Amino acid sequence: MTRLLVLARHGQSAFNRQNLFTGWRDPELTERGVAEAQSAGRRLKGDGYAFDVAFTSGLVRAQHTCALMLDAMGLAGIPVVRDSALNERDYGDLAGLDKDEARKRWGDEQVHQWRRAYDVRPPGGESLKDTAARVLPFYITAILPRVMRGERVLVAAHGSSLRALVMVLDRLDSDAVAALEIRTGEPLVYRLEDDTSVAEKSVLPRDETDG
């Protein structure tokens, strides 16, 4: 049985390019982001991967990434489940602000805590712990059962929602997850054991010529 689960962060968005906090804001992909998504799909196909179902968030940058990846793989017709449980963490009052300007206003350490600490909320927003509280139940009830039935599953989502999943899959503590970076356009490939633990993990490096 395959038990294939692939996690892919969306390609570069307009806010990524401008160094802005994004959260639940809904910018589109840049040209580079489109190229990253297409390249990720081509690399997965070239390595012999295929999918039976895909999951993505309620935000357009992840949905577009998902569609571009599947199209590049010749899988545009498979079912795609969209759910806001997979949304990026809500950055609250920081959304739309320049990250460098935020550091000048609140200091490097405070902004670092808002961005990377497990249980520290930005003003009006969510911590990674809060994000995990909505991502993980959805994973357990909607995604994992399909993986365990042998379906090949793609999840195209966001840095923080995927960090919440990787924390569980890789059994990371809160200190380790603070240092975890999931790059745009760089899929994480998991195969699961019959007890839902990870049998194998690999990373498909991003093609740095994209964009």
Report which of 186, 166, 185 is spatially closest to residue 176, judged by C-alpha positions. 166
Contacts of 52 (CB under 8 A, 6+ apart): 78, 79, 146, 151, 152, 153
Q: What six digits make up the tokens of 45?
A: 């196909």
User: What is the 3-state composition of the chain as percent helix, strand, coil, each rounded to the nearest 5?
Assistant: 45, 15, 40
Of these residues, 10, 36, 126, 151, which one is catalytic? Answer: 10
8 Å CB contact between 188 and 14 = no
Our answer to whether residue 36 is catalytic in this structure is no
- Element at 5 (helix H, strand E): strand 4-9
Our answer to whether residue 112 is catalytic in this structure is no
Of these residues, 36, 64, 88, 186, which one is catalytic? Answer: 88
Active site residues: 10, 88
